[in-house]
Amino acid sequence: MKKIELEIVALSHSITQTHSYAVVLGEMNGLRRLPIVIGGFEAQAIAVALEHMQPSRPLTHDLMKNFMNAFNVDLQEIIISDLQEGIFYSKLVCFTEHDTVEIDSRTSDALALAVRFGCPIYTYEHILENAGILMEDGTPKKNKGEAVGIEDNSATHDDLSALNLEELQTLLNEVLEQEDYIRAISIRDEINKRK
């Protein structure tokens, strides 16, 4: 099967499930998007790596990367390989000096590691066909399959726009102490927009 390369194009609260997030993968040089609902911890792990934040202690995925590096295991790529009953299945393709091994992984964990290793993310046509969204003229259109939710940042943005710079900086410090890196990114973006 031909692999299709994806990139992370968005990460936000899911509008379909409370206490969940959506990571949206975009087809490289294409118009299709693949939204995947993930948990809060995994969303935070992805956000930390995407924004090059340095937590005071290693997060679980940082520990995994450190462990793999210590034993000379390189993550070559991840493949979102299957979709069954709305659940995505992924594989880590790992390379050592003597072998290449595929390891089963939750997609959210695979994405968190892919961001840390800077490795490519792939899927197959049938997955994009069944769960993807086709973006035409900036408007999402569902493919044949049923898509998972896309993002909605409006509530977060409206809350922040009412605060002044000093209040935003205070809030940023508080959420960083709580290690809520996804909220920190929104606050930092709002501060940068005003400067």
Q: What is the spatial distance between Cα 53 and Cα 19, in angstroms, rounded to a whole number?
A: 23
Q: What's the average model confidence in pLDDT over 79-102? A: 95
The structure tokens listed for 21 are 């997030």
3-state secondary structure (DSSP) of residue 140: strand
- Phi, psi values for residue 97, rounded to 5°: -60, -30
pTM: 0.73
**What is the mean predicted confidence (pLDDT) over 108-113?**
96
What letter does residue 64 receive in the DSSP assignment? Answer: H
% of the chain beyond a pLDDT of 70: 82
Residue 170 CA to residue 187 CA, distance in Å, equals 10
